[in-house]
Chains A and B, each alone.
Chain A
């Protein structure tokens, strides 16, 4: 369009030429119905067509050129700009002579695994065996309500609602890419393939990450299938034990698996007490939330995390209220609260681990020092949240939820806490609200009194948060309590710990009796991570979630178990399984061409971190933790761990 207009002054004569222009006008008057007469009048539609045509043909030509050029061309361009790319670790190690030795098992985390539809309601017609989760997420936009309906689980049982079967995708495709172009395991798989791995020696232990861990066995027999596949791989590879690589929640899932497989048959897998010793060489946990993540709390409490909260501040109308009648957040909350697995990541160990009102293991941590290193523009938004240069010492990380920033920062003596536990839950707010009927959140049953009581308690530590969640979401927590536990065991030999609900809590289980096994804790550091939240009560509207986040902060508990809880022979690790901590300092990608970077420390992007991949490949090819160089620590994890007073 701009091109066309600019030409106008350049050609005045034809415009002044009266007859031709006027002819057009008169033509139109005389014969409006005859299309031929419109010829000289190049109307809007024609120019539109013309432009579209131009764009289309240009696009085709470019597409053709793109397809015709050699496949290595983009790489060539990148190299010309950024200098030669380093060899991917697989290629490098292959040159060193490494080759496939131990079979590997991937255990994907929450959210990253694909889910597909096997049976659905009328509205999901035509989606049989199509991905509802993962892939393009096209259905979320096309039929959002239908999608939410199918992705939700039953509120009572935590299993399928009647008439709906959504099942995990199996095979390596389950989690190699989360969405097109967004890799999760694909880079690692490609690098392993370089040294000779293929599908018979790689197994993706895909499971339905919405279910509680034991329910994956009850409904899909997933744990049995993992057991059988590991046994098969060990057997067909000449008895070489497997290297297991769980990521994110997969770490907890595999912890659960290791207990399950050795437990006797009706509840467990009946593999015998030496199953892990016989079948597992190493467990290489990537970014494992062993002790839970604070993010899980906010997710359950108010269906928002940092990113959502920021988005909400920017565009208040979209997520909050009745935009297109969608009530997005409430729907999301309703859906996620039916997913038992989210409860596996509620912080465990209470105040002992996470800190109380006045102390936390990470206190004195300076967020400013991070800023110096990360002055690149691509660092995630969160850094800017923390921009205010406040004195680092006063951060009370122990207060995971505070109502109001002032409350978060004052000494504990000055906070007046009014116990909410006995508060009467009125029902004056829920049932008056018929229009919210389909958007079920338990907040409607809490009532005004309850909401007020919650905010009056002002500050919540990891211990009291459990009570808080039980107060605001009793049904969910009731389901969860059958599957998860968040305490610290006093006596691990207590027979009650034979129940499966303790299996995914490292503080309430012993590691298997497998002295030759190794456990690695691999995670990124150097990125600000959510650790505690400042909340406020949201203004009441028709159907609403009464709490909202104000800001966020930082921390990291991924290393604790390997740094202290399991190090040496402790009561949690009776056979002295060796533990190694491998931290990877975050360095954002140098430029846009590098994509998500080869030195990232972010939770998911770390799967493309070359140093991490190299470590994994070396172990898979037979190296031990000592061969890798033992611990590699950048953070203060060892110091922080010292401060945690846990009986070992």
Chain B
């Protein structure tokens, strides 16, 4: 800008005759500066420019601070019309007030973790968040961060010399990162009707550990028990309303069994503890039967998003970009976390379907289009526009090698059993440069990898064997803590072991006839359900399997997109997993629910935010964003204030969950 003036200078200088230049005070005060323009260098320009920006920034900042706090809201309202009152304010006007204490159980990933003891490289991070918050350390010292976030490969507990612990209190999971709320909106709305910290408890736990290990290492389950007892006692015996989210649903299921089990393994609370202390369990987006995403994560450290990112920028995640080898590192890290194994799909083929059938078959991926006519939708929605035949998606085949395999009738698939394949070591140990990037694939050898691909198509039961085959160490650890089957006889004494407590198909609900269980989840978003895989190009250190991005349904409304078969759900948890237990297995008096605890399904149809100003929306059905869904918050507030499921209006269903549940042949 300034430089452009240069050519004009000379003519002007010539035309103007030296007029009597009276040295004004101003001129005297800056005469030195006046000498400078002759050598107005690049640095000066830069300085000037930066100064100008800084200055205007300060002015804006000052104005921002001086402006009334409600200004942003006013602007938003002026553009998008008046905002609806938050449910808390609304219900307060109705006279709803705090009654039952509430307990939040956060899910995987959303809870903060902080450092209590570390290696020298983590100096200065004492009691700082390694997980959650800004994630600044991931960029500053990535290898140090990985080292500290990993757990011990054998025990699933702390590696020696490192102690990472869950943040406690409401701050543990109110915001995941700055500005990205998880529980904060719900907390604020509860506070509107009179809740405060003495009546709200965040049951934060180290979500990397297996559930029982949180008790072994941190006594977290005892802590939750004691806090619930305290809250019930100090609130005049009003029972608690528990609100678990995501994996927290499984964690709390585990807790309910633990607390009533006798002392050495359990909490020794007596067989009526739940009946005395819990009014309702309001599961939000609970992966009660697991999520297919967990398989992809454990098998190849990727999900849909990662696979897509990989396609767009092949170099970054795959190989030696900056020498980081991101994906193998992530895989190594996440495979030390026992908790990820809690979300492997449970119930095998009975629930998730076999080679030729699945409960969701016939699901029309395009019909979602009709309900949402807002232009600003997420990418997945644009999948289906033209109509096509849909009924032949084989959701039961959770992993298929190749699109043709995924679509062929089962009789045409030649499967070679991989279970007896020799896991050679001809390729792992030759590769010393990879040794710090530990993945068990290096011990499998070429034959093993080929054998996996030759089996072609995996149903849910096969997938368990597959994981045992490709990650034996991890599954061995997991085998002590989790189980994925269906119980034939729930009274078998073996089911007293804690590894069955988080599997709803192998435990009975507690003996608490007055309790209520809600299944609250979002619907209307395509959700990962089955994958098309391919073998990756051999490289130096690599993960041998990849989601086959090129596999696509061809037409716009196919359920197959980017190598992933989608089904109705909340973007992470398919409807089947979130709703089946409440829709069928627990409904009425069944062997899983011997005292007939009442079940309510509340679905929230996804509506994306109307415009950018709405942030993450108030009608979202997405797995985490649903925590800001006004309808869901209202339901929770009403129950916390004393309402029952009947008063809410009972079930509220948009999806085909009841039809699909009927197709599942489970002995009740």
A-side residues, CB < 8 A to B, are: 4-8, 11, 14-15, 18-27, 29-30, 36-37, 39-44, 46-57, 71-72, 118-119, 125-126, 128-129, 142, 165, 167, 170-173, 176, 189-190, 193-194, 196, 198-200, 220-221, 224-225, 228-229, 231-232, 235-236
* B40-60 vs A, Cβ < 8 Å mask (1 yes, 0 no): 000010111111101100000
A171 touches B50 (CB 8 A): no
The yes or no answer to B119 lying at the interface (CB within 8 A) is no
The yes or no answer to B126 lying at the interface (CB within 8 A) is yes
A235 touches B123 (CB 8 A): no
* In-complex Cβ contact of B197 among A39, A167, A189 (8 A): A167
* B171-188 vs A, Cβ < 8 Å mask (1 yes, 0 no): 100100000000000011
* Chain B neighbourhood of A39, CB < 8 A: 2, 5-6, 8-9, 37
Inter-chain CA distance A198–B30, complex, in Å, is 61
14 A-B Cβ contacts within 8 A?
A22-B19, A22-B21, A39-B9, A42-B33, A47-B33, A52-B54, A53-B52, A57-B46, A129-B174, A193-B117, A221-B198, A228-B226, A228-B230, A232-B226
* Chain A neighbourhood of B198, CB < 8 A: 167, 220-221, 225
* Chain A neighbourhood of B226, CB < 8 A: 228-229, 231-232
Shortest Cβ gap from B163 to chain A (Å): 6
Inter-chain CA distance A562–B656, complex, in Å, is 73
The yes or no answer to B219 lying at the interface (CB within 8 A) is yes
Inter-chain CA distance A27–B12, complex, in Å, is 8
Shortest Cβ gap from A199 to chain B (Å): 6
* In-complex Cβ contact of B169 among A19, A30, A72, A173 (8 A): A173
B32 touches A8 (CB 8 A): yes
Within 8 A of A (CB), among B7-44: 8-9, 12-14, 16-19, 21, 26, 29-38, 44
* In-complex Cβ contact of A125 among B16, B69, B188, B230 (8 A): B69
* Chain B neighbourhood of A6, CB < 8 A: 32
Counting from the closest, the 5 A-B pairs by CB-CB distance are A53-B51, A53-B47, A52-B51, A49-B51, A53-B50
Inter-chain CA distance A190–B171, complex, in Å, is 20
Closest chain B residue, CB of each to CB of A198: B116
Inter-chain CA distance A53–B36, complex, in Å, is 16
Inter-chain CA distance A20–B40, complex, in Å, is 14
The yes or no answer to B326 lying at the interface (CB within 8 A) is no
A199 touches B165 (CB 8 A): yes
Closest chain B residue, CB of each to CB of A41: B34
B8 touches A36 (CB 8 A): yes
B169 touches A171 (CB 8 A): yes
The answer to whether residues A36 and B33 also contact, given A23-B16, A52-B51, A221-B198 and a CB cut-off of 8 A, is: no
B32 touches A23 (CB 8 A): no
* B110-138 vs A, Cβ < 8 Å mask (1 yes, 0 no): 00000011000001101100000000000
Which residue of A30, A42, A125, A196 has the most chain B CB atoms within 10 A of its CB atom?
Answer: A42
A54 touches B168 (CB 8 A): no
The yes or no answer to B447 lying at the interface (CB within 8 A) is no
Inter-chain CA distance A413–B127, complex, in Å, is 61
The yes or no answer to B491 lying at the interface (CB within 8 A) is no
The yes or no answer to B668 lying at the interface (CB within 8 A) is no
A15 touches B35 (CB 8 A): yes
Closest chain B residue, CB of each to CB of A47: B33
Shortest Cβ gap from A174 to chain B (Å): 9
Inter-chain CA distance A200–B221, complex, in Å, is 12
Closest chain B residue, CB of each to CB of A8: B32
Inter-chain CA distance A228–B31, complex, in Å, is 75
Shortest Cβ gap from A22 to chain B (Å): 4
* In-complex Cβ contact of A42 among B34, B47, B234 (8 A): B34
The yes or no answer to B223 lying at the interface (CB within 8 A) is yes
The yes or no answer to B428 lying at the interface (CB within 8 A) is no
* Chain A neighbourhood of B432, CB < 8 A: none
* Chain A neighbourhood of B451, CB < 8 A: none
Shortest Cβ gap from A617 to chain B (Å): 15
A19 touches B16 (CB 8 A): yes
The answer to whether residues A23 and B12 also contact, given A56-B54, A228-B226 and a CB cut-off of 8 A, is: yes
If A54-B51, A200-B218 are given as contacts, then 19 extra A-B residue pairs at C-beta distance below 8 Å, sorted by A number, are A8-B35, A11-B35, A22-B17, A22-B21, A29-B19, A39-B5, A41-B34, A47-B30, A49-B52, A54-B47, A56-B50, A56-B54, A57-B50, A142-B65, A171-B169, A193-B117, A199-B168, A200-B219, A236-B223
Shortest Cβ gap from A112 to chain B (Å): 18
Which residue of B19, B35, B47 has the most chain A CB atoms within 10 A of its CB atom?
Answer: B35
A19 touches B13 (CB 8 A): yes
Within 8 A of A (CB), among B188-210: 188, 191, 196-198
Inter-chain CA distance A142–B65, complex, in Å, is 9
Closest chain B residue, CB of each to CB of A231: B226
* Chain A neighbourhood of B169, CB < 8 A: 170-171, 173
Shortest Cβ gap from A52 to chain B (Å): 4
Inter-chain CA distance A128–B175, complex, in Å, is 14
Closest chain B residue, CB of each to CB of A20: B13
Shortest Cβ gap from B205 to chain A (Å): 11
The yes or no answer to B233 lying at the interface (CB within 8 A) is yes
The yes or no answer to B229 lying at the interface (CB within 8 A) is yes
* Chain A neighbourhood of B30, CB < 8 A: 42-44, 47
The yes or no answer to B537 lying at the interface (CB within 8 A) is no
A72 touches B123 (CB 8 A): yes
Inter-chain CA distance A130–B434, complex, in Å, is 48
The answer to whether residues A19 and B18 also contact, given A39-B37, A224-B234 and a CB cut-off of 8 A, is: yes
Shortest Cβ gap from B470 to chain A (Å): 35
Inter-chain CA distance A50–B14, complex, in Å, is 28
Inter-chain CA distance A23–B171, complex, in Å, is 64
Inter-chain CA distance A539–B185, complex, in Å, is 53
* Chain A neighbourhood of B69, CB < 8 A: 125-126
Shortest Cβ gap from A102 to chain B (Å): 15
B18 touches A225 (CB 8 A): no
Inter-chain CA distance A170–B204, complex, in Å, is 14
A228 touches B32 (CB 8 A): no
Shortest Cβ gap from A177 to chain B (Å): 11
* Chain A neighbourhood of B31, CB < 8 A: 8, 15
B38 touches A14 (CB 8 A): yes
Shortest Cβ gap from A32 to chain B (Å): 14
Closest chain B residue, CB of each to CB of A229: B226
* Chain A neighbourhood of B222, CB < 8 A: 232, 235-236
Within 8 A of A (CB), among B433-449: none
The yes or no answer to B70 lying at the interface (CB within 8 A) is yes
* Chain B neighbourhood of A142, CB < 8 A: 65
A50 touches B116 (CB 8 A): no
B48 touches A224 (CB 8 A): no
The answer to whether residues A50 and B48 also contact, given A5-B32, A170-B197 and a CB cut-off of 8 A, is: yes
* Chain A neighbourhood of B6, CB < 8 A: 39
Inter-chain CA distance A485–B472, complex, in Å, is 69
Inter-chain CA distance A56–B198, complex, in Å, is 46
* Chain B neighbourhood of A189, CB < 8 A: 127
Shortest Cβ gap from B192 to chain A (Å): 8
The answer to whether residues A4 and B33 also contact, given A56-B54, A198-B165 and a CB cut-off of 8 A, is: yes
* Chain A neighbourhood of B36, CB < 8 A: 4, 42
The answer to whether residues A232 and B33 also contact, given A26-B16, A53-B46 and a CB cut-off of 8 A, is: no
A167 touches B196 (CB 8 A): yes
Within 8 A of A (CB), among B232-287: 233-234
B21 touches A21 (CB 8 A): yes
Inter-chain CA distance A235–B263, complex, in Å, is 12
Shortest Cβ gap from B140 to chain A (Å): 8
* B612-623 vs A, Cβ < 8 Å mask (1 yes, 0 no): 000000000000
* Chain B neighbourhood of A29, CB < 8 A: 19
* Chain A neighbourhood of B4, CB < 8 A: 36
Shortest Cβ gap from A122 to chain B (Å): 9
* Chain B neighbourhood of A52, CB < 8 A: 50-52, 54-55
The answer to whether residues A48 and B16 also contact, given A53-B46, A200-B223 and a CB cut-off of 8 A, is: no
The answer to whether residues A22 and B16 also contact, given A42-B34, A128-B188, A228-B229 and a CB cut-off of 8 A, is: yes
Closest chain A residue, CB of each to CB of B235: A221
Inter-chain CA distance A54–B16, complex, in Å, is 34
Inter-chain CA distance A7–B32, complex, in Å, is 7
